[in-house]
Amino acid sequence: MTSAAMGAVPAPGTGSPESPAGRNGAAARTAEAGGHPLEIQMLQVGGQLLRVGRQAGSQRGATPLLMFNGIGGSIELLEPLARAMPAREVIVFDVPGVGHSPMPRRPYRLRTLARWALGVLDHFGHAQADVLGVSWGGVAAQEFARTAGERCRRLILCATTSGMFMLPGHPKAIARMVTPRRYMSKAYATQVSGDIYGGDFRRQPELAAEFMKHVKWQSRWGYYLQIGAATGWTSVHWLCRLKQRTLVMAGRDDPLIHTFNARLMRSLIPNSELKLFDCGHLFLMTRQEESVRAINEFLDKA
């Protein structure tokens, strides 16, 4: 993907999250939290319009961090993590049909998503990036590391698996993940958050309200397209060929992703290490300080 194949698109109308008024409101909310808001723009990448968020970072010349979100997750879900690493340039985008990226013209696979990510990096002039993926986004990050290996310097896999060949999580948690209902109803999210995410959400269901503040819901179809993109996919037979230094991160009390899967990936990826948290699926949120410290130490290693 070259920069000629894409371009910046005028911002949506006033009142939208990407409009000046919307950005000013987001900036005010972020200022209260003591951070800096992501710069939001719409980019045309290979025929697909993507909503992209970027934090410039204060550390000039460093390798940027490209982040892939979990299923149904918009830019806003990862913005607090980006703000907790103000020195880093961070790039994240809404998958088509999620957040404010419009629906794709047809269903897509993870390889297509990797090409879109390459186009985003090209737009910002980056030959290489560190890559972090969360849950479903960890699957996308693995595909990116495989198909664009020379563009991926280091890899961070959070609360994720090697795809269809995995040890499944708790049946109740999996059943509730199949539907996007938790993104559509705050009351339902509070009710089921402990069963789905485990960890602190079991003891503090009110954390779901904080989680929902960062949700920008679009459609069921976009959610199901994400499920379809990874259906039948597995990395278990090629993880042994990944050359990137890799950090695998997981929560010990994760109903969705059993820690066996993290240990399996750690054993299969040659140059990898494992970090476990006494928390659940959303440890990047509930153990943010510890998570950021682990991420920074890993990325800053010589």
- The alpha helices in the chain, defined as continuous H runs, are 20-33, 75-83, 110-123, 136-147, 171-178, 181-184, 186-197, 200-203, 207-212, 220-230, 259-268, 283-286, 288-300
Report d(CA 4, CA 127) in Å as an integer. 15
Closest listed residue to residue 84, CA positions, set 46, 48, 35, 117: 35
Active centre residues (catalytic): 135
What type of residue is 299? L
Residue with tokens 């010349």: 61
Q: What is the dihedral of CA 235, 238, 240, 244, to 10 degrees?
A: -80
CB distance 278 to 198 below 8 Å: no
**Cα dihedral 149/155/160/166 (nearest 10):** 50
Residue whose C-alpha is closest to residue 131's, from 247, 38, 281: 247
Closest CA to 130 of 63, 68, 83: 63
